[in-house]
Every structure is written in structure tokens, then in C-alpha cells.
Amino acid sequence: MAHLEVQNITKSFGTHHALDGVSFNVEKGDVVALIGPSGCGKTTALRIIMGLETATSGQVKVAGRPVSGCGHDRGMVFQHAELLPWRNTLSNIGYGLEMKGMKEPELSRTAMHYLELVGLTLAKDRRPHQLSGGMKQRVGIARALAIDPEVLLMDEPFGALDSQTREGLHGELLSIHAKTQKTIIFVTHDLDEAVMLADRVAVMHAGKISQIIPIELERPRLDMRAIRTSAEYSKKRTLIWEALHDAGVSAAA
Amino acid sequence: MTTDTEIQAPARVERRAGQASWTSTVPAWVITTISVAVATGLWEFFGRDVNPLLGTYPSAIIKAFFSMLQTGRLQDALIQSSQPFIVGYIVAAIVGIPVGLLLGRYRILESALGIYVTAGYATPLIALVPLLILWFGLGFMVKAVVVFLLSFFPICINTWFGVKAVPKTMIEVGTAFCASQTAIMRGIILPATIPYIMAGLRLGIGKAVIGIVIAEFLTAISGLGGIIITSANSFRTAEMFVPVILIMVLAVALTALVGWLEKYVAPWQSEITGHDSV
């Protein structure tokens, strides 16, 4: 039994089918990227898994349990971090824990642990507007990880960052994954991000998964430079590019 | 050619920087003080030539102020006016803020009741005072009700629109982490709405001031409004201006108090916007 099972989910808005039968399984500890052009339904799929939207039909199971609505078995990282501006870094990280019902002193201790994990100990007392974009998203990741979810869901988490910061965070996420072994699903439209981070890349087009491409790069992926120059990297990058391109051409035709 | 522009460019930058430093080093309060002093001086100078029935000037007002203080008339009037003012305004805040929060949060309430709030805000409520007198008499109660009615709507409507302005994704953070409805309201919507609530409270002060003065004109003539109307009716113009200016000063002070309160309850707000609220 897979850790996360997405079974034939569809989503219609009136006559428009945002998702048209999407199914995939994710094994425990695997990282899956959903990639595709804007409007292909990748974000909708992620939001349904999170329970922010309900599927018109189909089912999502986490660790064998069907999900409906929110749940602390899934942790969400938002596109623009979405930190609460009146909370400092530590208390933003602790938000999910508070909602989970954790009390002091355990709350602060746990939040502190994740603060250290993302390397923001020095920014503990700062408010979000005093943090850079990259730091904000690290807080977003720590907040989602802090509730110790079965699955980490990330909606274009690095899309709004400049490329240097983005690559820094790729390294960070790879090392976090190496430490925590979390199951991760993330949405992206960055080819390099997909190949670098994922074990499998699901290429989506018009509400369907058109291809699932496995990335056979060893974990832990600590040497990003070596990975980038490897044959597997360029091979899979080309393969995904072609999959996206083919879908784009058939859409335009 | 290239060397010319290279040499000239820094000189121009320096001059611009010099100009900026002159206007930015004088503190704002100094400019305000000079402006008020000049305006008062002009009023004093030209006001003395005006028929005392039709106009007055600052030193005459100050004289009237001290003689009214001595008789105790001003203090009594201030106490009389402030009681219904405070009660009416505080009740308006206590009712208006939660009603606004609920209207903004729940679509059913908004569709069912929002129309009355919008209508109430647009209605010239002062026109209802004769009817309110029939219901509540001529004393304390009717004045408090008038103050309440006038300040309730701006407070409520601002809170309501403030809730509507909270980004959807911010609420989704609560939803994604399984926050209860109460936790979303208290932990996300309320803090995010504070700037709007404070703006409503500030507008409410202006409306409440109008409310108390008009109420004192139209009901039992008393308080600061009472002094205004009796002085005006007996052509004691300088005396009339004493409560007018006193009310203005108090209203400005109360508005500043709300600004201070905002900095106290929502310190992140002025940090983000980078400037102090007045």
C-alpha cells in the first residue's frame, strides 16, 4: 500500500474540467513533482490533496485513511509563504502546533527544533516583514514540518524567489529531506527544480497526467554541482522538456 | 564628452541631496506650529475689525474661556456632554466591531443584514432625532442613543470591509492547519482587520462629536452644545466659540489616542507601512 494514494480525482467548475481523472501513488519518503503549464490543474490537484478544495469525484488516501478536509497528516507550504505578519518567526513556526492543540513548554521547544532545522535561529524574534523572501519560505517550510505530517505539500514554493535564493533553498530542501525522510509532493513549472528535487516527475496537461518520469539520481543528493553535470540529469531534463513541449504543441494545434 | 558628463553628474547629485536635507531636517511639528501661529495671528489681526455680533478673534475667545472656567459653567457643561458621549461611543464600538466581523465573515449574515448597515450609514440619522425624543425623552438616554447611532455605522462598516480585505490565502493558512472557526476569527481575521477597525473608530469620533452637539441643540439644551446655542442666540460670539474650539481640541486628542492605541495593539502595522499614523 502506497503512503499517499490519489485515486481518479476529477474537479469540474461548471462545464470546465480542471481535473479529468488524476491518479498516482507515492511511496513513503518519496518526492514527487507535479509539473505542467498554467491551468493544467496541478495546483488544483495539490489543493484537493490538502483538503482546501473538494474533488467532484475520486478519493485521496494518506497512510490508508481516506481524507476529507484538512488534517494534521498533511502539511502545506504556500506559494508566497503566507506568514502571519503579527507573529514572529518562532511563533509563526508554532502556528500549526497551536492549532494541533500543543501547549507550552512543548510548543516552544518543538518550534525551536524546526527553527534550527531551517537555520533561522538568529531570526527567531523577527516579524515576517523583516525577513527576506527566502527566509520567509524557510519559515513556511518549518511551519508545515513542525506538525510532523505524513506528507508535505508544496505549492510552487520557490517560484517567487530569485534564482540564486531558489537554488540555495533546493539544497536546503534536499538536506531536510535527507534528515526527515518526509513524503513530499510539490508543484512547479521549473524543469531544473523538478529534476533536482524529485524522485518522480508527473507531467500534467489539461487536467490529466500525461507522463510520469522517474529520476534515477542517488539520494542523498548533497552535491548539486555533480548532479547538474550528470548524464541522468540532462537526459531527464530533456525528456520532461519534450513531454511539456509535446503537450503544448497538441494544445495549440 | 564622456569626461564632461562624468564630472558633472556627481555635482548635480550633490545639489539635489542638499535640497532634500533642508526640507527633511525640519521636524514636522515645527512646521505645524508655525502654520497654526500664522493662522491665529492673521485671525487676531483681521478679526478685531469685524462687528463683534458677526465675528470674533482669538484673544476675545481666550478671555471668554477663562471667565467661563471661573464660573464653573464650562466644566459643568463638559461633564454633562461627555457622559452620553462616552457611553454612546463605547457601546457603538462594543457592538459595531463584532457585528462588522460577523458581516464580513458569514455570507448569510452579510446578505441578510448588510443592506441595513449600508442604508443606516447613508441615512441622515439626525433627521430621526424628533422621533428618538418621543422614544427616549429629552435627557441622557436620547443623547447617548444619537451618539451611538452616528458612530455605530462607520465603525461597523469599516470593520466589515476590513474583513473582506483579508487575503483569502491568509485564511487558507488557518484552514490548512485545521484551525477552528473561532481560531480563524480570533487568530487571523481580527488581527488582520485591526487597521480598518482603527480607521472606523477614528471616523466614529468625528461622527460622535457631531451627534452630541446636535443632540444638545435639539433635546434638552445642555452641555457644550447648549452653551453654543444659547451664546449664539444672544449674540455672544466669543463665548460661542469657546465650546466649539474645546470640542475640536478634544476630538483631535481622542483621534490621536486611537492612533496611539493602534500602535499599542498592532505594533507590526506601523513597522510594515513605515510611517506613523496621525
- CATH number, domain containing residue A39: 3.40.50.300
Mean pLDDT of B147-173: 95
- A67 with A157, same domain: the answer is yes
**Structure letter (DSSP) for residue A37:** S
Mean pLDDT of A165-169: 92
pLDDT at residue B278, rounded to an integer: 41
- A144 with A193, same domain: the answer is no
Confidence of residue A252 (pLDDT cuts 50, 70, 90): low
Mean pLDDT of B114-121: 92
Give me the long-range contacts of B258-266 (CB less than 8 A, separation at least 24): B258/B198, B258/B201, B258/B202, B258/B205, B259/B198, B259/B202, B261/B198, B262/B194, B262/B195, B262/B198, B265/B194, B266/A86, B266/B191, B266/B194, B266/B195, B266/B198
Confidence of residue B19 (pLDDT cuts 50, 70, 90): low
Question: φ and ψ at B264, to 5 degrees?
Answer: -75, -45
- A40 with A97, same domain: the answer is no
Report the number of distinct structural domains present in chain A: 2
Mean pLDDT of A55-79: 92
- A127 with A155, same domain: the answer is no
| CATH 1.10.3720.10 domain position(s) in chain B | 73-273
* Partner-chain residue, chosen from A50, A72, A82, that has the shortest CB–CB distance to B170: A82
- A141 with A206, same domain: the answer is no
Q: Which residues of B touch A147 (CB under 8 A)?
A: 177
Please say which residue of A148, A178, A196 terminates a domain: A148
Residue type, A140: G
A44, A52, A82: best to mutate for the B interface, most B CBs within 10 A? A82
Please say which residue of A127, A148, A169 terminates a domain: A148
Whether residue A78 lies inside any domain: the answer is: no
Percent of the residues in chain A that have a pLDDT greater than 90, as a whole number = 76
Give yes or no for a cis peptide into B130 (omega within 30° of 0).
no
Q: Which residues of B touch A95 (CB under 8 A)?
A: 173, 177
Q: Which CATH number fits domain B73-273: 3.40.50.720, 1.10.238.10, 3.60.21.10, 1.10.3720.10?
A: 1.10.3720.10
Name the minimum distance, in Å, from the CA of A47 to any CA of chain B: 9
Mean pLDDT of B75-85: 92
Distance from first CA to last CA of chain A, Å, rounded?
Answer: 40
pLDDT at residue B1, rounded to an integer: 42
Q: Do A99 and B271 lie within an 8 Å CB cutoff?
A: no
C-beta of residue A49 within 8 angstroms of C-beta of residue A75: no
C-beta of residue B189 within 8 angstroms of C-beta of residue B171: yes
- A55 with A127, same domain: the answer is no
C-beta of residue A204 within 8 angstroms of C-beta of residue A42: yes
Q: Do B169 and A82 lie within an 8 Å CB cutoff?
A: yes
Return d(Cα B60, Cα B70) in angstroms, integer: 16
Residue type, B28: A
- A158 with A232, same domain: the answer is yes
Confidence of residue A249 (pLDDT cuts 50, 70, 90): low
**In the sheet that A57-62 helps form, which strands lie side by side, from edge to edge?**
A16-26, A4-13, A57-62, A65-66
- Lowest mean pLDDT of A94-98, A144-148, B134-138, name the range: B134-138
pTM for the model stands at 0.83
- A57 with A141, same domain: the answer is no
Number of A–B residue contacts, CB under 8 Å: 54
C-beta of residue A50 within 8 angstroms of C-beta of residue A74: yes
Range of the domain at A125: 83-148
Using the predicted structure, report yes or no on whether residue A92 has a pLDDT greater than 50.
yes
How high is the mean pLDDT of chain B? 87
